[in-house]
Amino acid sequence: MSSDRELFFKHLAQTSPIPLGVEISHSEGIWLYGVNNKKYLDLISGISVSATGHRHPEVISAIHEQLNKYLHVMVYGEFVLSPQVKFAQLICDSLPTRLDNVFLVNSGSEAIEGALKLAKRSTGRTKIISFKNGYHGSTHGALSIMGSETAKNAFRPLLPDIYMLNFNDLNTLEQIDSETACVVVETIQGEAGAEVPGNSFLQALRQRCNDMGALLILDEVQCGAGRTGKFWAFEHYNIEPDILVMAKGIAGGLPLGAFVASKELMQELTYKPVLGHISTFGGNPLCCAAAFANINVILREKLHEQAIAKEKIFRENLKHPLIKSIKGKGLLLAAEFENFDQNKSIIDRCIKKGLITDWFLFAPHCMRIAPPLIITEEQIMEGCKIIIEAINEED
């Protein structure tokens, strides 16, 4: 009989020629366990997903409770389902008053697609602006605004009327004009290597959008839900979006995404045509129940407020001549090395030593550090020790 590993390569579509291929039997907290019971400290949270750790007891309890009630009953937006309502209210309570209407979907990519459609529908414009090295997903609309020409070239033609600016460059904002429907930007660029905006960049971007009547869409799929030291990363910069996009860390490990706007704006998707945006499985009751429990844990335990102090511990203990810098904010960090080959060899040794980390899509020379928000000081110290040991073995 073939092993799961053999069947993985035979029957599952591969996203790269060299998947990590670590076979997992179970998980708990910040730990993953291999089939041989090898223990791995998870420093990337499944790419910023497992904010409250793997299988948080309250998330698991909420899933079990909902399992005994119902799963899918109707396409999103038709029936009144308590898990959806409770989660939407909780999210709106965490946001500025103007952002009071939630459209539930399955993923960050799907949330981006909905946000783009809403912007085009409500403004009557087609010009969309995004930023180099931005990542917003892999579906056609999301891919169109991705900030990498190399990643897009094999899949053209994509959406027309897309313009790409330089992140953190105030001089390019004049390209936002009266024909611009929206500007899409990650509040902190994730796949660029946790690239943080300059002190005035997002404020200037917000003002330019106001002046030109363009909508500002903030993508917090990776940096939201407490990861950067505030519950929403835009809170660091004294701005508000017109549309906020979220996913990854909101549902405790289950697939859920959302875009949020004002009720007045969101109603543009309900007519001319009716069902202007629709999702069969969006807001799955099981996912929403898990998300409600997950967000409550973050807020009650103030995990977002602890992220800055935990960032400091990482920075203090990841000092080495081969680490050129540590970028990012809170628990979305990037340790910068000389090049990809050096970074990848260190990552591989970390995995052998029982620590899961990875590199960034548009910053392959940077090591990803984005652990579950529940990580303790002792666990941070353990993770840093393993990384330094792996660096010291570099030839």
pLDDT, tens digit (0-9, with 9 covering 90-100), for 266-294: 999 999 899 999 999 999 999 999 999 99
Mean pLDDT of 18-27: 91
pLDDT, tens digit (0-9, with 9 covering 90-100), for 102-156: 999 999 999 999 999 999 999 999 999 999 999 999 999 999 999 999 999 999 9
Mean pLDDT of the chain: 96
DSSP 154-187: GG-S--SSEEEE-TT-GGGGGG--TTEEEEEEES
**CATH 3.30.420.480 given to domain 4-55+302-392:** no
Which are the contacts of 147, defined by CB distance < 8 A and separation ≥ 6? 130, 131, 132, 133, 134, 135, 164, 167, 192, 362
Is residue 178 over pLDDT 90? Answer: yes
Identity of the residue numbered 357: T
Mean pLDDT of 249-263: 98
Residue 22's CB: how many other CB atoms inside 10 A? 13
Q: What confidence score (pLDDT) does residue 394 get? A: 72
Q: What confidence score (pLDDT) does residue 395 get? A: 60
Higher pLDDT, 364 or 394: 364
Q: What confidence score (pLDDT) does residue 199 get? A: 81
The region, left, alpha or beta by phi > 0 then psi within -120 to 50, assigned to residue 229 is: left
Is residue 162 over pLDDT 70? Answer: yes
For the chain, the structural domain boundaries read 4-55+302-392, 58-300
Token pair belonging to 100: 């009071």
Mean pLDDT of 313-332: 98
pLDDT, tens digit (0-9, with 9 covering 90-100), for 380-389: 999 999 999 9
State the CATH architecture for 58-300.
3-Layer(aba) Sandwich (3.40)
Q: What confidence score (pLDDT) does residue 41 get? A: 98
- For residues 217 and 245, is the Cβ–Cβ distance under 8 A? yes
Q: What confidence score (pLDDT) does residue 19 get? A: 86
pLDDT, tens digit (0-9, with 9 covering 90-100), for 297-314: 999 999 999 999 999 999
- For residues 137 and 143, is the Cβ–Cβ distance under 8 A? yes
Residues of the chain above pLDDT 90, percent:
93
pLDDT bin (cut points 50, 70, 90) of residue 84 is very high
Q: Which residues pair with 335 in a beta bridge?
A: 326, 367
